[in-house]
């Protein structure tokens, strides 16, 4: 299925700024006609619509983000005074560069700092918060009193995939799976091992996007841990071997893919495509 030439992608590409951004990178409290989305939101949506490193709009954005890491460009987002903003900004930008270009050295240099932090944050097979704080302070050197982020947000889970020590990766994976509020920034609000109560809802897209992220972990132990997701999805397969998440599942991130859902078959086709892509990686 090719949705790169569809109306959703065209709408996003038409809004891209000359510098490769969509204005604010991460935070947008009030969308406007001139600033309806952030750079991050645009990248997230374009990726699900099939855009990758070979596409010029993505290349343009990655160049912009790379220059932000090098301080040649400045992210226009408001500085979060109480947080370790520089480290967090580096993490966010590097994550998106690595999603589209895993071989980028500058992004990998930052990723490796997080790998070292998390590799040394587990003791006796459990995540140790004090060890994490100690390693964070040692490696990233935040200003005293600044709030630091945890390790169960989208950026950490993404940037650490397939990079942790083989003995640590399954421990971290399990920690993320069981974290009471799920992966931060997805909006699910429950642990991943807590399956959604209903299959036909917008909440299901939050859940499926978390699972799609976890499928980027390729070790056998991690794949095996997601078998319960495969069984859950298979239980909702219709007689025609397709899935329907319902009209309410339209979240404008994962779905829709087709230009219109006026026809039920287009919605079902989109839902089936997304679920099959996830199942193929488990």
pLDDT the model gives residue 31: 66
Cis peptide upstream of residue 256 (ω within 30 degrees of 0):
yes
Nearest partner of 48 among 193, 198, 228, 213, judged by Cα: 213
pLDDT the model gives residue 33: 65
pLDDT the model gives residue 203: 86
Query: Helices (DSSP H) in 49-181: which residue ranges?
Result: 56-69, 85-100, 105-119, 129-140, 154-159, 169-178
pLDDT the model gives residue 57: 97
Return all residues near 108 (Cβ < 8 A) that are at least 6 apart. 94, 98, 102
Low-confidence ranges of the chain (pLDDT < 50): none
Q: Give me 63's structure tokens.
A: 């160049």
Q: Give me 188's structure tokens.
A: 């699910």
* C-alpha dihedral (80, 83, 86, 90), degrees to nearest 10: -100
CB of 278 closer than 8 Å to CB of 27: no
End-to-end CA gap in the chain: 20
């Amino acid at each position: 299925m090719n949705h790169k030439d569809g109306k959703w992608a065209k709408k996003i590409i038409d809004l891209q700024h000359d510098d490769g951004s969509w204005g604010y990178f991460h935070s947008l409290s009030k969308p406007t006609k001139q600033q309806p989305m952030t750079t991050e939101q645009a990248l997230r949506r374009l990726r699900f619509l099939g855009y990758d490193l070979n596409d010029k709009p993505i290349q343009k954005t990655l160049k912009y983000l790379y220059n932000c890491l090098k301080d040649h460009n400045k992210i226009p987002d408001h500085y979060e005074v109480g947080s370790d903003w520089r480290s967090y900004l580096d993490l966010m930008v590097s994550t998106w560069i690595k999603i589209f270009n895993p071989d980028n050295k500058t992004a990998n240099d930052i990723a490796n700092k997080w790998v070292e932090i998390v590799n040394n944050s587990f003791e006796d097979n459990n995540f140790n918060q004090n060890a994490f704080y100690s390693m964070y302070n040692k490696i990233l050197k935040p200003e005293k009193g600044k709030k630091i982020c945890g390790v169960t947000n989208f950026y950490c889970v993404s940037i650490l995939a397939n990079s942790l020590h083989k003995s640590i990766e399954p421990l971290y994976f399990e920690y993320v799976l069981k974290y009471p509020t799920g992966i931060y920034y997805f909006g699910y609000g429950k642990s991943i091992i807590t399956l959604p109560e209903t299959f036909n809802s917008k909440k299901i897209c939050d859940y499926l996007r978390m699972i799609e992220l976890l499928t980027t972990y390729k070790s056998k132990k991690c794949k095996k841990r997601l078998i319960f997701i495969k069984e859950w999805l298979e239980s909702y397969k219709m007689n025609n071997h397709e899935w329907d998440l319902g009209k309410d599942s339209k979240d404008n991130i994962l779905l829709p893919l087709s230009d219109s859902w006026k026809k039920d078959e287009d919605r079902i086709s989109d839902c089936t495509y997304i679920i099959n892509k996830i199942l193929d990686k488990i």
